[in-house]
Chains A and B, each alone.
Chain A
Amino acid sequence: GAVVSQHPSRVICKSGTSVKIECRSLDFQATTMFWYRQFPKQSLMLMATSNEGSKATYEQGVEKDKFLINHASLTLSTLTVTSAHPEDSSFYICSAPYEDRDFGEQFFGPGTRLTVL
């Protein structure tokens, strides 16, 4: 099946620094990708929809200036957490739909665990 990768798998950074997370569709093209955040023992919360070649669409309550999304190619979307703070520590997961004539089955990346000290 289709594969979505994320890099890095884990990152630890100091408060105030910026962190970039990459999401790649390895064997298919994705005009749309999704970014989720998951706090410990909680559900996945959709943060934003990443659109290739255009601006991302953010969910209500998500700061677009803090979570910068760039979808520069059909196989790569990046999420940059700017000026990270300890409350940004979370598990970030991306997904990409494998688009066919029917509903595109979502393929999820393995996630990136961010710890901000």
Chain B
Amino acid sequence: AQKVTQAQTEISVVEKEDVTLDCVYETRDTTYYLFWYKQPPSGELVFLIRRNSFDEQNEISGRYSWNFQKSTSSFNFTITASQVVDSAVYFCAPSSGGYNKLIFGAGTRLAVHP
């Protein structure tokens, strides 16, 4: 079965620190997609990034970057120069079976303090 592990339950940092959120997944699919979502206290999920399994090029988008290592089934997400508004729960979600079906990790609660 698909499985997603976000080992970090909670992370607390001071503003302007860089923070990396870890994600390790298991999948039987040969082709799949990987997502990161953010859930602020309001509850609404916010899309952050998407990556497909056949493209391991890592990129930077503003303060966000990600490190996808297919060989180790890891898809880590980094926020550079964190801000208080980044405080939220972050979910890693690989696709499962049909492309549109997502399986969510347990989430990592990030608290950024001024």
Question: B104 touching A44 by the CB < 8 A rule?
Answer: yes
A104 vs B47: C-alpha distance in the bound complex, in angstroms?
A: 13
Q: Which of A15-23, A71-79, A80-88, A106-114 contacts B (4 or more CB under 8 A)?
A: A106-114
Which residue of B42, B44, B100 is within 8 Å of A104 (Cβ)?
B100
Q: A43-B91, A91-B43, A111-B43 are in contact. Are A106 and B35 (CB under 8 A)?
A: yes
Number of interface residues of B (CB under 8 A): 21
B27-62 residues with Cβ-Cβ distance < 8 A to A are: 33, 35, 37, 42-45, 47, 50, 52
Number of interface residues of A (CB under 8 A): 24
**Chain A contact surface mostly:** strand
Q: 4 nearest interchain CB pairs?
A: A108-B45, A97-B100, A44-B104, A110-B44
Q: List B residues at the A interface (Cβ < 8 Å).
A: 33, 35, 37, 42-45, 47, 50, 52, 91, 95, 99-107
Q: List A residues at the B interface (Cβ < 8 Å).
A: 32, 34, 36, 42-46, 49, 91, 93, 95, 97, 99, 102-108, 110-111, 113
